[in-house]
Amino acid sequence: MIPVIFRRIGRASAVLVFFWFGGALIFPCAIRAQLITFSKQDLADYTAKEPFERFPDGRPKVPNELLERARDLNSEEIWATLHEKGYNNQFADGFTILHPGKPLVGRAFTLQFMPLRQDLDQVAQQKAKEHGLARLMNQTAIDMLQPGDVLVVDIFGKKVDGTVVGDNLFYYVMKATNGGGLVVDGSIRDLNGISEIDMPAYFKSADPTPIGNVMLTGINVPIRIGNVTVMPGDLVVGDREGVYFVPPQFIREVLDRADEIRIHDEWTKKKFDEGKYKSSEIYSTPKDPKLRAEYEEYLKKRLAELKKQRGEN
Amino acid sequence: MIPVIFRRIGRASAVLVFFWFGGALIFPCAIRAQLITFSKQDLADYTAKEPFERFPDGRPKVPNELLERARDLNSEEIWATLHEKGYNNQFADGFTILHPGKPLVGRAFTLQFMPLRQDLDQVAQQKAKEHGLARLMNQTAIDMLQPGDVLVVDIFGKKVDGTVVGDNLFYYVMKATNGGGLVVDGSIRDLNGISEIDMPAYFKSADPTPIGNVMLTGINVPIRIGNVTVMPGDLVVGDREGVYFVPPQFIREVLDRADEIRIHDEWTKKKFDEGKYKSSEIYSTPKDPKLRAEYEEYLKKRLAELKKQRGEN
Amino acid sequence: MIPVIFRRIGRASAVLVFFWFGGALIFPCAIRAQLITFSKQDLADYTAKEPFERFPDGRPKVPNELLERARDLNSEEIWATLHEKGYNNQFADGFTILHPGKPLVGRAFTLQFMPLRQDLDQVAQQKAKEHGLARLMNQTAIDMLQPGDVLVVDIFGKKVDGTVVGDNLFYYVMKATNGGGLVVDGSIRDLNGISEIDMPAYFKSADPTPIGNVMLTGINVPIRIGNVTVMPGDLVVGDREGVYFVPPQFIREVLDRADEIRIHDEWTKKKFDEGKYKSSEIYSTPKDPKLRAEYEEYLKKRLAELKKQRGEN
Amino acid sequence: MIPVIFRRIGRASAVLVFFWFGGALIFPCAIRAQLITFSKQDLADYTAKEPFERFPDGRPKVPNELLERARDLNSEEIWATLHEKGYNNQFADGFTILHPGKPLVGRAFTLQFMPLRQDLDQVAQQKAKEHGLARLMNQTAIDMLQPGDVLVVDIFGKKVDGTVVGDNLFYYVMKATNGGGLVVDGSIRDLNGISEIDMPAYFKSADPTPIGNVMLTGINVPIRIGNVTVMPGDLVVGDREGVYFVPPQFIREVLDRADEIRIHDEWTKKKFDEGKYKSSEIYSTPKDPKLRAEYEEYLKKRLAELKKQRGEN
Amino acid sequence: MIPVIFRRIGRASAVLVFFWFGGALIFPCAIRAQLITFSKQDLADYTAKEPFERFPDGRPKVPNELLERARDLNSEEIWATLHEKGYNNQFADGFTILHPGKPLVGRAFTLQFMPLRQDLDQVAQQKAKEHGLARLMNQTAIDMLQPGDVLVVDIFGKKVDGTVVGDNLFYYVMKATNGGGLVVDGSIRDLNGISEIDMPAYFKSADPTPIGNVMLTGINVPIRIGNVTVMPGDLVVGDREGVYFVPPQFIREVLDRADEIRIHDEWTKKKFDEGKYKSSEIYSTPKDPKLRAEYEEYLKKRLAELKKQRGEN
Amino acid sequence: MIPVIFRRIGRASAVLVFFWFGGALIFPCAIRAQLITFSKQDLADYTAKEPFERFPDGRPKVPNELLERARDLNSEEIWATLHEKGYNNQFADGFTILHPGKPLVGRAFTLQFMPLRQDLDQVAQQKAKEHGLARLMNQTAIDMLQPGDVLVVDIFGKKVDGTVVGDNLFYYVMKATNGGGLVVDGSIRDLNGISEIDMPAYFKSADPTPIGNVMLTGINVPIRIGNVTVMPGDLVVGDREGVYFVPPQFIREVLDRADEIRIHDEWTKKKFDEGKYKSSEIYSTPKDPKLRAEYEEYLKKRLAELKKQRGEN
């Protein structure tokens, strides 16, 4: 990305740069200077069912060991549990996937942008100033990222001027999140440079323009990505199909169900490999009670192995 | 639309019905029960430049006489002033227009929907209950509409289950806003019935399903319609091209400029009708100093007439 | 449309012309010469629940008086009953509507086209010949149309060369069906001429080319229109939103429910007009038990009037 | 449209304004200052087969009486002749049609725009100056329009900043062409104002922005509209389906064939009205030799009547 | 994919599961229980020109050695022969290609789905029962696959609920067809799992939902894939451009022509490599008679070598 | 691709073949036979600012050493300079990229096609003949390519029949341009064969049909690719985002700026790697004066190294 000192900046870009750096040294202050606010109390109220710890700012903190287990998840395994719970709006697709084979897993850190409107922008700037947030001296939203985070950005699908990061900031996000990842309902810049950085990313398009003509209106507020309402702290899982946003209260169940699904598939393929059965004799459930018993036995044994392997007892 | 008492309601619809009626008897209470909040103070801060009165809830109230004058505005006339001010994100199009010849003019009353997510929904319901808002006994957001309002709804372009109103509620909106109008980034229902009701409406699609699988997350909060950030109280003007959202502080200037543009066009056509001039001799500015003077004279005279006609001095 | 005698016909068109006239003098013979067959027995089996008479070829024949009542139906009223029955795939939209205000009502007469493939085409021709159907001497599928029919054509959305009728045949369809109508998942020709003919029509596009490069593969077989499986004899109802295909067994229930919905809307609007109530007090169900009783009374009375008016007792 | 004297003009618009007025007082000079040139000799060479007179600048001039006869043409009638001649790339559609019932007929006056590039622009300006064409003192391309012309503009589908005319210039075009018409592969402005002007127009979109960020690169050069290569002087015919561009050498044949088609349709409908025949017995050619003879007789008689009516002998 | 025993199944899914397993233990029975039928005799009649053996159910059986030769074919080589024969509707594209470099070659095994309609579904179920096909005890259509088959599925482009296979069944298809392949005008599930399985596949989209809200209406009936009428037994060839469906009677000619094209290209490139010729001197036909003779010689020699290599004499 | 001697050629294809070979042995002659002409003088006038040598036909010749340096450029680096110069219409995207990791760099050699129109075609043929250009004996436009060229083709996005090259000609282009490259606003053929050839290519689609139904109307004339006006001799640079067309006069500045951007990024990443700084402390400009000085020092040193490395002093 282009160093600011080398270019003349038009007014619109200046606004952008401000907003980009419009996060906060001290989080609560930043929150106050946003057009859309969602307080620590709001976070606590609306995510009351999440069973884990929280970050100081109230965001649910899915434990690292579950993030680790979640690296094996795919969309279809998550669908099984969420569909049963009646959560059918948690999947988004239609993205360009930067590294298709590489799993995306992490905690949602959300950003919301809206089309620039100077009257609102000027008030937000003034509010920022009153909270002691000088324009270019402050940390950006990106500076608030934590290891294990996935940056999830709603910039309403904007392509031109909707490039949330270029390769420099993408690199920084990778460092700060420890390779967490990026999901953008919008575009990115420097696709060549970004392609060489080893962090999963999902975006709608790429464009040579820098971000502009927008304002950052919310950090860690509820946002819309496609047909999903994403909450800060959601478990984000991306595979070759798209991205799932899992409410924290369902994560354990999703992971346990996924174990069973994977063992089931393992056994099914083994049986298919024997070449003695038609698919319908084995799948999705063995017809023959003896085979079924064999499967149940296998499932039990493999689950126990998995548990042991994970050091659970 | 279908009376509830005659149908069995599935779970998802039930949720919807709740949210639909999730507005508030007493406005401040309603605000508290929303996922996205924007307080009276927020409204005051972010619309500080608006020069008019306000509604009790803080929403700017463009005076009726200006609404009246605005009925003659079209997109191109508004563009002239807003472009000069650097406001290039105030126009949205791509709508089906219900009554193409009929102007849409009024004060924005905004609604925001997000994809349904039961965990958030249940908390919002609980909050509503705590504020004394029983589910089906309360007024809806629509019950809060005032004469001169235009209902502007961000339901993220949803078609199936994204039908914000059918003909019954459309009729009520017409009554409540005194024919103000409707703008929906989403769909409507009962197009046949709605077509017979004399209120301007702009929507993306029509569908036979009722609204569902969404939650009402904000009443009179800043919303996105296409590439526009719409604020409660904005002047909404729709013509055959699309819809403009004018920040209140620019309305007088827009109207005055429109007077000049219309007089200019009047004079230009008159000159063209004489058949003596090539277009470039007259338009956009007369080349001949004498003609130019003639035009300036005409403009002055007509502006004076207009002023007199409006009872201004 | 262009008289054949005045033009030289390329090979592909010739094929087409054949198929167009590839219907049958005697229906069962025509059936035999089709690539896709659906026998009278098939029709009887698969529409066993339809409660009305049948045409000689087995197609369900919704009675004329029900067709008459159905002229007042709209999409949303049909949705209510079919949704309750679990039939959610009976609506198709995305059409250009020829005469938007004019209701489309009739019995489905279905045609299916597939992309031309000469090897299949030649066999079908040969079969036709063996059944005594000489090429240009036979009646077309269109010649089999009956008063009250709506011609429903699946030509896989084809635009160029997918023009099922021009103004001449459109006129004939109008005469033969007594103004029944046309639904085409494909295109029509001679839009200017067709616009002047008083029959409702729904089509995807218009094009100056004649139909070609396709083969007629089924007459009165089950077809797909958008997301609907259409059966011969379905009640077809089109309004400003799109087209509903109602299985005959549900028609009475749809019509009765529609009566109630219309009375409900009538009463609701009347109440809104009084200006004393908020929408949620009245709609969709009156909150106040007294009002509710008033409504129930009104409904009962109006239903009785309707019944009387229709000569039912 | 907005008078220039009332607005500050940015650099891009200024360029535009120049190009707009970049036509020529004296045509040959204008030609020289264009990026793409097509000389009088080129015109003569490439339209050598056109059988009519020419304008002074070499453009074919279809006679007024043929324009008059062409007002009854529709797309399908033109298709018949051009298809036979092997001209299958003369039809463009996908337009918004301003006045759907009103026929568009006239001689093509073509304009070509390309995306603005200042280095080319500056050279063209310099060339203009050298030919004595001062910037704002010269006539525009529009000033060159003649009665009976249809302005056909290739502005590569551009919507924003691609608005070739607003209501003022549209009005002038109407006056100058005597209601000829407009075809734009791009957008127009002031749709409200334009809707009230009685001239046929075909365009891809409407937008509130003025034209900008483009340069006028050719006046009366060969252009592309959709899948058509349009030549200056082509007969332009628009109906409800789209627009046909007829090379002048085929106009008489198109018109004569259209007479026969119309008489054929007249007779066909008359026969259908008798209600005695199946469609295939009559259309497209009567099967019965007696009927056929009747038709031939009818055709002969009506053609003679038409001829007489037109004063031909 | 998810084992049935672990999930509660909604009604719609149940229907689906039935149909999925709605194939037949004994083929003729399965045929009878389908909405759309195409008998062994129909197959024989409509593919009478195919020169090879047939499967017991009548499907043409392109010999294995030709399948082997066909692995080198690409779209352009097939186009050459089919275009000459006048078969211009045999190519479909717009697919996501699972393993772009891997050729898809095999015999078409076709499936047709239509939108679910319970009245038809229930009759089909009843018919299945009458033919001794118990719901979950029977083999699926997939169980009928043979080595060398390509499963070709018309599920009308459906994405959500249109996922014909997940990774378990994809694996089984791979085993059963011996790596034959899959073409779906619809979607697949478990893209991550499927990506690791070494079988070519062409599909329109991927989705986490299981198949549902559809009914299997035909096994080995004529189907539509894009603009192609596909017949059971067609040779299916997929490359990086898309998929060709070759009627069996043309296979030998296609292969022989492809030999010549490949030798021609070989020679052409060799000549280009010499760097002495302009492209037009060599391609597509050498201008110089001596060069031409050289080429003819080369072709003859190489064809002989190929023949020898294949053990033909 | 298919040798002509083995196929019967239809008339349309013949025309195409002609045009393809319609370039010229002697360039000025070729120019005369084109519908759209752009003379050597035109080229000189409109590219007067280009600072380099020219080809004999007047096309600017960016020096080889700059082409070499340009191989490291990406879209975003070019944007920086061109945006500053006010050139915002030089980037095109939406292409399929043949070898995504491989940079495209070279001098634009432009071709323009228009939809076939036989009357124009025949005149062009006649003109060609008069200039001594026999039909199939002459060099094609492709025969005029030079090492370092990128063939840039405007064929108006045509897919079917819009395949500018197949693998034979693609191979020849690779040889003739020394691996320069291809950009087509249209399609290519033989994607399988082309994929194995090591030359960068950008195209809109692939199709098995050969080119046809078009005419070559300009060689090295100004053309439109997306929203860009491309001039012969422009520097073409393609990366993973799309293609930039750089006017020659800006190339040095673009390259120098790119050096600085790359050094800036290098330093920024190094600093991020230290893990001591928030992104906003470093990027885009270090806040701390000491850090800033460190950066300036680094930049100076690295620029000197680069210069030395390139043998500049």
**Residue C168 C-alpha, separation from nearest chain D C-alpha, in angstroms:** 7
Separation of alpha carbons D154 and D125, rounded Å: 21
Give residue-wise pLDDT tens across range F278-312: 898 898 889 899 999 999 999 999 999 999 998 87
The pLDDT, as a whole number, for residue B132 is: 66
Q: State the average pLDDT over residues C169-173.
A: 95
- Inform me whether the pLDDT recorded for C135 exceeds 50: no
The pLDDT, as a whole number, for residue E9 is: 30
Question: Cβ separation of D46 and F221 shorter than 8 Å?
Answer: no
Residues of B with CB under 8 A from a CB of D: 74-80, 83-84, 91, 93, 101, 239-242, 244, 257, 260-261, 264-265, 268-269, 272-273, 275, 278-280, 283-285, 287
Question: Cβ separation of D241 and C138 shorter than 8 Å?
Answer: no
8 Å CB contact between B23 and B219: yes
Question: Cβ separation of F89 and D35 shorter than 8 Å?
Answer: no
Measured between beta carbons, which residues in chain D are less than 8 angstroms from residue F86? 11, 118
Q: State the average pLDDT over residues E221-241.
A: 98
**Residue E223 C-alpha, separation from nearest chain C C-alpha, in angstroms:** 8
Measured between beta carbons, which residues in chain C are less than 8 angstroms from residue E119? 46-47, 49, 247, 249
8 Å CB contact between A222 and A38: yes
User: Confidence band (pLDDT; 50, 70, 90) for C280?
Assistant: confident
8 Å CB contact between A177 and A147: yes
pTM score of the predicted model: 0.93
Measured between beta carbons, which residues in chain E are less than 8 angstroms from residue A74? 190, 192-193
Question: Cβ separation of D222 and F36 shorter than 8 Å?
Answer: yes
User: Confidence band (pLDDT; 50, 70, 90) for E131?
Assistant: confident
Distance (Å) of CA B280 to CA A143, D12, D174: 56, 19, 15
Residue recorded with tokens 């949803």: B158
Percentage of chain F modeled with pLDDT above 70: 86
Best to test chain D binding among B77, B259, B283 (most D CBs inside 10 Å):
B283
- In 3D space, the residue among B170, C209, A169, E230 whose CA is nearest the CA of residue F280 turns out to be A169
ipTM: 0.90
The pLDDT, as a whole number, for residue D241 is: 97
The pLDDT, as a whole number, for residue B307 is: 93
Question: Cβ separation of E45 and C11 shorter than 8 Å?
Answer: no
Residues of A with CB under 8 A from a CB of E: 74-80, 83-84, 91, 93, 101, 239-242, 244, 257, 260-261, 264-265, 268-269, 272-273, 275, 278-281, 283-285, 287
Measured between beta carbons, which residues in chain F are less than 8 angstroms from residue A138? 280
Minimal Cβ distance to E76: which of F1, F5, F175: F1
Measured between beta carbons, which residues in chain B are less than 8 angstroms from residue D136? 280, 287
Question: Cβ separation of C74 and B192 shorter than 8 Å?
Answer: yes
When mean pLDDT is compared over C301-305, E141-145, E211-215, F11-15, the highest value belongs to C301-305
Measured between beta carbons, which residues in chain C are less than 8 angstroms from residue E88? 213
**Residue E120 C-alpha, separation from nearest chain C C-alpha, in angstroms:** 6
- Inform me whether the pLDDT recorded for F30 exceeds 70: no
**Residue A161 C-alpha, separation from nearest chain B C-alpha, in angstroms:** 12
Measured between beta carbons, which residues in chain A are less than 8 angstroms from residue B91? none
- Inform me whether the pLDDT recorded for F201 exceeds 90: yes
Q: Establish whether chain D is in contact with chain C, requiring a minimum of 3 CB pairs below 8 angstroms.
A: yes
Give residue-wise pLDDT tens across range B125-171: 888 788 766 443 334 688 899 999 999 999 999 999 999 999 999 99
Question: Cβ separation of A76 and E176 shorter than 8 Å?
Answer: no
User: Confidence band (pLDDT; 50, 70, 90) for C124?
Assistant: confident
Question: Cβ separation of A283 and E1 shorter than 8 Å?
Answer: yes
Element (DSSP H or E) covering residue E120: helix E118-130
Separation of alpha carbons C203 and B271, rounded Å: 46
Give residue-wise pLDDT tens across range C9-50: 333 333 333 233 333 333 444 555 688 889 999 999 999 999
Helix (H, G, I), strand (E, B) or coil at E61: strand
pLDDT in tens, chain B (313 residues): 443 333 333 333 332 332 333 233 334 445 556 888 899 999 999 999 999 999 999 999 999 999 999 999 999 999 999 999 999 999 999 999 999 999 999 999 999 999 999 999 899 888 878 876 644 333 468 889 999 999 999 999 999 999 999 999 999 999 999 999 999 999 999 999 999 999 999 999 999 999 999 999 999 999 999 999 999 999 999 999 999 999 999 999 999 999 999 999 999 999 999 999 988 889 888 989 999 999 999 999 999 999 999 887 6
Give residue-wise pLDDT tens across range D240-252: 999 999 999 999 9
Best to test chain A binding among F71, F72, F73, F76 (most A CBs inside 10 Å):
F76
Measured between beta carbons, which residues in chain D are less than 8 angstroms from residue F87? 117-118
Q: State the average pLDDT over residues C272-278.
A: 93
Of residues E78 and B5, the one with the higher pLDDT is E78
Q: What averages of pLDDT result for each successive group of 10 residues across chain A (313 residues)?
A: 34 31 37 80 95 96 98 95 97 98 97 95 85 50 93 97 94 96 97 97 97 92 98 98 98 97 96 92 91 97 95 75
Q: For A156, left (φ over 0), alpha (ψ -120 to 50), or beta?
A: left
- Inform me whether the pLDDT recorded for E67 exceeds 60: yes
φ, ψ of residue A217 in degrees (nearest 5)? -110, -10
Minimal Cβ distance to A89: which of B37, B49, B116: B116
The pLDDT, as a whole number, for residue B312 is: 78
Minimal Cβ distance to C222: which of E11, E114, E213: E114
Q: State the average pLDDT over residues C54-66.
A: 97
Going D264 to D269 to D275 to D277, the CA torsion angle's sign is positive
User: Confidence band (pLDDT; 50, 70, 90) for F33?
Assistant: low
The pLDDT, as a whole number, for residue A46 is: 96
Separation of alpha carbons A289 and A282, rounded Å: 11
The pLDDT, as a whole number, for residue B33 is: 66
Label each residue of chain A as H, E or C: CCCHHHCCCCHHHHHHHHHHCCCCCCHHHHHHCCCCECCHHHHHHHCCCCCCEECCCCCEECCHHHHHHHCCCCHHHHHHHHHHHCCCCCEECCCEECCCCCCEEEEEEEEEEEECCHHHHHHHHHHHHHCCCCCCCCCCHHHHCCCCEEEEEECCCCCCCCECCCHHHHHHHHHHHCCCCEEEEEEECCHHHHHCCCCCEEEEEECCCCCCCEEEEEECCCEEECCEEECCCCEEEECCCCEEEECHHHHHHHHHHHHHHHHHHHHHHHHHHHCCCCHHHHCCCCCCHHHHHHHHHHHHHHHHHHHHHCCCC
Contacts with E107 (C-beta within 8 Å, 6 or more apart), sequence order: E59, E60, E61, E62, E67, E146, E148, E149, E150, E180, E233, E234, E235, E236
Minimal Cβ distance to C283: which of B137, B169, B189: B169
Question: Cβ separation of A46 and B120 shorter than 8 Å?
Answer: yes
Q: State the average pLDDT over residues F223-235.
A: 98
Instruction: Say which range, B282-291, F85-94, F247-256, has the weakest mean pLDDT.
Output: B282-291
Measured between beta carbons, which residues in chain B are less than 8 angstroms from residue A231? 117, 120
User: Confidence band (pLDDT; 50, 70, 90) for E129?
Assistant: confident
Contacts with B191 (C-beta within 8 Å, 6 or more apart), sequence order: B206, C75, C239, C240, C241
Q: State the average pLDDT over residues E136-140.
A: 41
Residues of D with CB under 8 A from a CB of B: 1-8, 21, 136-140, 142-143, 166-169, 171-172, 175-176, 189-193, 195, 206-209
Task: Give the chain D residue nearest B280 (alpha carbons).
Answer: D139
Separation of alpha carbons A189 and A193, rounded Å: 9
Q: Establish whether chain B is in contact with chain F, requiring a minimum of 3 CB pairs below 8 angstroms.
A: no
8 Å CB contact between C278 and B169: no
Minimal Cβ distance to A117: which of B36, B89, B120: B89
Instruction: Say which range, B181-190, D124-133, E251-260, has the weakest mean pLDDT.
Output: D124-133
Q: How many contacts, defined by CB atoms under 8 Å, are there between C and D? A: 96
Best to test chain B binding among A13, A34, A46 (most B CBs inside 10 Å):
A46
Question: Cβ separation of A190 and F74 shorter than 8 Å?
Answer: yes
Instruction: Say which range, B154-168, C137-151, C197-211, has the weakest mean pLDDT.
Output: C137-151
Residue recorded with tokens 């997940």: E166
Q: State the average pLDDT over residues D278-299.
A: 93
Minimal Cβ distance to A143: which of F275, F280, F284: F280
Best to test chain B binding among A36, A91, A119 (most B CBs inside 10 Å):
A119
Q: Establish whether chain B is in contact with chain E, requiring a minimum of 3 CB pairs below 8 angstroms.
A: no
**Residue C190 C-alpha, separation from nearest chain D C-alpha, in angstroms:** 6
The pLDDT, as a whole number, for residue D135 is: 45
The pLDDT, as a whole number, for residue A311 is: 85
Of residues C225 and B126, the one with the higher pLDDT is C225
The pLDDT, as a whole number, for residue A140 is: 64
Question: Cβ separation of D115 and F87 shorter than 8 Å?
Answer: no
Q: Please, what is the average pLDDT of chain F?
A: 87
